[in-house]
Structure 1
Amino acid sequence: MNAPTRTPSPLRLEPVTPDNFDAVCAVSVRPDQAHLVAPVVKSLAEAYVHGETAWPRVIVDGDEVVGFVMAFLDIVWDAAADPRDIRSGLWRLNISSAHQSKGYGRFAVSAVTAEIRRRGASRAYVTWEPGPGSPEPFYLGLGFRPTGEESAGQTVAVLDLPTT
């Protein structure tokens, strides 16, 4: 008897591999958003440099790459203030311009926060560039709340993660 073939979930996060590298590097946001988020290729370079804390993933729907998300895991936020201030959160989110407003961003944030929760954290952080076109309404709608902090001019926000 043959084992049943397992088909991948239609919507999922996958590691960046040689097979999907070109497709994920081709992900680009709308032109009016380009000043708000770094291109995927810069994120992958940062993931290489910060390999101990970066968690880059491709957002895939069926066989199609629709976006890119990268988390930061267990970083000391401000050692000068409190070296025990260890945080994890969403570092980068790029949804292809052709695939925006279809729930992919919401899915990616949910998957990242689930991974952060799985690793034992009770909060997830995000930053965003303030101003016109900012993703602030998106993150506030997901329950993130500003902390009053800034990081490189960006708003810092936190989401409490429910324990299971």
Structure 2
Amino acid sequence: MSDLRLAELDADNLPAVIQIPPAVGEKAYVAPVAYSIAEAYVTPTAWPRVILDGDAVVGFVMANWDPDNEIPAFRGGIWRLNIADDAKGRGVGRFAVEEVAAEARRRGYDEITVLWNPAPDGPEGFYLRVGFQKTGELFGETIGTRRV
């Protein structure tokens, strides 16, 4: 993990990014990247980014910037975070969260949110370790909020 950076999704990195788990139909607590890309295509406020380590695709993060959304948890924050299996545990997820927080600050946000499944083997521990605090529930998921 020497050269982490975010890049816009493009024709060159698309084949690698859609291979990041979970695969369509695989049981997981986050949607497959292909689903997220389709959602970004029809959601003008979505902000999909590929996470690169040098030239290697190691993850995908999608934020949403919609300050007027009627649901406060959807005004600004992380919608999806997918990390390649061989990149897990190397700080890639933390890097992605920090990059979303930096983008939020650039856009004038004071906080970001994320929703996660409260299952025992879900991502709650990760989100709490990177600074989110539980602030409620929505659609059966936990809302996490982090000051930026």
Indicate whether the TM-score tops 0.5.
Answer: yes
**In 1, Cα distance between equivalents of 2:70 and 2:61:** 24
Deviations 1:17-74 (A, max 9, x none): 01111011111149xx842010000000000010x21000000001100010000112
The structure with more radius of gyration = 1
Alignment-mate amino acid for residue 140 of structure 1: L
Runs of 4+, deviation exceeding 3 Å: none
Deviations 1:104-157 (A, max 9, x none): 000000001100111000010011011121111111111111112x22211011
Structure 1 spans left out of the alignment, 5+ residues: 1-8
Aligned to 2:121: 133
Q: Are the structure 2 counterparts of residues 86 and 64 from structure 1 closer, same or farther at C-alpha, using a change threshold of 3 Å?
A: closer
The 8 Å contact of residues 29 and 95 in structure 1, kept in 2 or not, is answered as: no
The 8 Å contact of residues 144 and 157 in structure 1, kept in 2 or not, is answered as: yes
Aligned to 1:46: 39
**In 1, Cα distance between equivalents of 2:124 and 2:11:** 33
Q: Are the structure 2 counterparts of residues 121 and 26 from structure 1 closer, same or farther at C-alpha, using a change threshold of 3 Å?
A: same
TM-score normalized by the length of structure 2: 0.90
Deviation at residue 76 of structure 1 after TM alignment: 3.6
Aligned to 1:96: 84
The 8 Å contact of residues 46 and 65 in structure 2, kept in 1 or not, is answered as: yes
Which aligned pairs between 1:22-41 and structure 2 lie closer than 5 A? 22-29=15-22, 34-41=27-34
Aligned to 1:146: 134
**In 1, Cα distance between equivalents of 2:12 and 2:40:** 18
Which aligned pairs between 1:1-164 and structure 2 lie closer than 5 A? 10-29=3-22, 34-50=27-43, 52-78=44-70, 87-148=75-136, 150-161=137-148
Q: Percent identity?
A: 50
**In 1, Cα distance between equivalents of 2:14 and 2:74:** 30
The 8 Å contact of residues 113 and 146 in structure 2, kept in 1 or not, is answered as: yes
SS state at 1:78 partner: coil
TM-score normalized by the length of structure 1: 0.82
Alignment-mate amino acid for residue 10 of structure 2: T
